[in-house]
């Protein structure tokens, strides 16, 4: 590891700030594998100016202590600007929100659970997480719920959802004044959840609906929630079928992003809109019936 090259046995740093610029530029190029976008991401994460072959004033290598700078920089370059550790934080986020939770003088999100948990919690707090408020809760929805009003892009107060017949599977719903969305990851026949403002904070961390919903659901289980009711959702489309659906939606003028066979936010929104136009339950879950209709 870089730390072994940087520190001697008593932890003294070998003039890291002034002698490693050329080596750093070479390492960034090596890990970027000729990809200019990756090189730019690596350089930005390390606060390194490739043109000048030097660290920017904003770099912790310039502004922080030598030990902290070397550790952060080592994480940046050896992870190729990817997400790091138990809670998958980007290097820049570690620089801003990293916490030495176990008090050993280091921030290590790979091997220290206290560091990882406290760093993740601090980052969520910085992103707008409201302490003491719910984030996700399984609910029971009536068969006549207006499906077109479901989805993360639509919100109502908890009070309004109650009036529409939404009830908690366990416990009580959040405060009546909270704005919330009903999400149906596998459509109206699968599990249903109410997503509160804290749930939206997760998307500041990761933009994947599946990733965020999975993480949020696991957190409810850690808090004591019982396993969700799977229901009997319509079978999911295969990857090739999803690509076919996306191509057909594009032909109808919808922006589904890249035709990649992945059910992302744009594809969900397009599916829900075309379902409504075709007189199908607009729950944003792509089915074989929808594919055949198109």
According to DSSP, residue 86 is labeled T
Predicted confidence (pLDDT) per residue in 108-167, tens digit: 888 889 989 999 999 999 999 999 999 999 999 999 999 999 999 999 999 999 999 999
Q: Indicate whether this model's pTM tops 0.75.
A: no
Helix spans in the chain (H): 2-6, 16-19, 21-32, 36-45, 60-63, 66-78, 91-97, 113-127, 158-163, 197-202, 209-222, 239-251, 265-277, 288-293
Does the domain formed by 136-222 have CATH 1.10.10.10? no
Tokens of 36: 């200019």
- Supply the pLDDT for residue 214: 93
According to DSSP, residue 261 is labeled S
Question: How many angstroms separate the CA atoms of 67 and 24, rounded?
Answer: 16
Question: How many angstroms separate the CA atoms of 221 and 138, rounded?
Answer: 11
- Supply the pLDDT for residue 8: 34
Query: Beta partners for 194?
Result: 137, 182
- Supply the pLDDT for residue 121: 93
Question: How many angstroms separate the CA atoms of 233 and 241, rounded?
Answer: 17
Predicted confidence (pLDDT) per residue in 64-91, tens digit: 554 555 555 555 544 444 677 888 887 6
Residue 158 phi, psi (nearest 5): -55, -35
Question: If you average pLDDT over residues 9-21, what whole number do you get?
Answer: 45
Q: How big is the CA angle at 49 (ends 45 and 55), to the nearest 5 degrees?
A: 80
Tokens of 174: 């959040």
Q: Which of 260, 128, 140 is nearest to 201 (CA)?
A: 128
- Supply the pLDDT for residue 12: 33
In the chain, pLDDT over 90 holds for what percent of residues?
Answer: 57
Query: Beta partners for 89?
Result: 84
Query: Beta partners for 34?
Result: none
Predicted confidence (pLDDT) per residue in 184-198, tens digit: 999 999 999 999 999
In the chain, pLDDT over 70 holds for what percent of residues?
Answer: 83
Predicted confidence (pLDDT) per residue in 252-278, tens digit: 999 998 899 999 889 999 999 999 999
Tokens of 15: 């003039």
- Supply the pLDDT for residue 60: 56
- Supply the pLDDT for residue 282: 96
Predicted confidence (pLDDT) per residue in 126-142, tens digit: 999 999 999 999 999 99
Longest dimension (CA), the chain: 72
- Supply the pLDDT for residue 96: 77
Question: How many angstroms separate the CA atoms of 276 and 188, rounded?
Answer: 14
Question: If you average pLDDT over residues 240-247, what whole number do you get?
Answer: 96
Question: How many angstroms separate the CA atoms of 183 and 147, rounded?
Answer: 10
Predicted confidence (pLDDT) per residue in 18-57, tens digit: 556 766 777 777 767 778 887 888 788 777 788 887 777 6
CA distances to 2, 16, 74, 90, 241 from 66, in Å: 13, 7, 12, 21, 54
CATH 1.10.530.10: which residues of the chain? 136-222
- Supply the pLDDT for residue 74: 52
Question: How many angstroms separate the CA atoms of 261 and 237, rounded?
Answer: 9
Predicted confidence (pLDDT) per residue in 187-238, tens digit: 999 999 999 999 999 998 888 899 899 999 999 999 999 999 999 999 999 9
């Amino acid at each position: 590891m870089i730390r072994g090259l940087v520190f001697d046995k008593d932890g003294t740093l070998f003039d890291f700030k002034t002698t490693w610029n050329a080596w750093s530029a070479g390492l960034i190029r090596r890990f970027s594998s000729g990809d200019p976008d990756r090189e730019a991401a690596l350089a930005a994460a390390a606060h390194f100016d490739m043109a000048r072959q030097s660290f920017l004033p904003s770099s912790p290598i310039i502004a922080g202590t030598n030990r902290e700078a070397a550790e952060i920089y080592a994480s940046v370059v050896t992870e190729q600007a990817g997400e790091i550790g138990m809670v998958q934080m980007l290097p820049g986020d570690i620089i801003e929100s990293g916490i030495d939770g176990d008090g050993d003088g280091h921030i290590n999100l790979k091997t220290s659970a206290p560091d990882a948990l406290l760093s993740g919690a601090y980052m969520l707090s910085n992103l707008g997480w409201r302490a003491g408020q719910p984030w996700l809760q399984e609910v029971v929805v009536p068969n006549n719920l207006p499906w077109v009003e479901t989805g993360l892009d639509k919100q109502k107060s908890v009070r309004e959802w109650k009036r529409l017949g939404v009830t908690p599977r366990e416990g009580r719903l959040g405060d009546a004044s909270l704005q919330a969305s009903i999400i149906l990851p596998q459509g109206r026949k699968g599990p249903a959840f109410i997503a509160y403002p804290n749930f939206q904070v997760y998307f500041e961390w990761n933009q994947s609906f599946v990733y965020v919903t999975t993480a949020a659901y696991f957190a409810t289980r850690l808090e004591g929630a019982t396993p969700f009711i799977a229901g009997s959702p319509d079978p999911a489309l295969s990857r090739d079928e999803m690509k076919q659906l996306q191509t057909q939606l594009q032909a109808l003028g919808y922006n589904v992003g890249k035709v990649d066979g992945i059910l992302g936010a744009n594809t969900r929104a397009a599916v829900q809109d075309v379902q409504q136009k075709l007189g199908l339950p607009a729950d944003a879950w792509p089915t074989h019936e929808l594919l055949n209709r198109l």
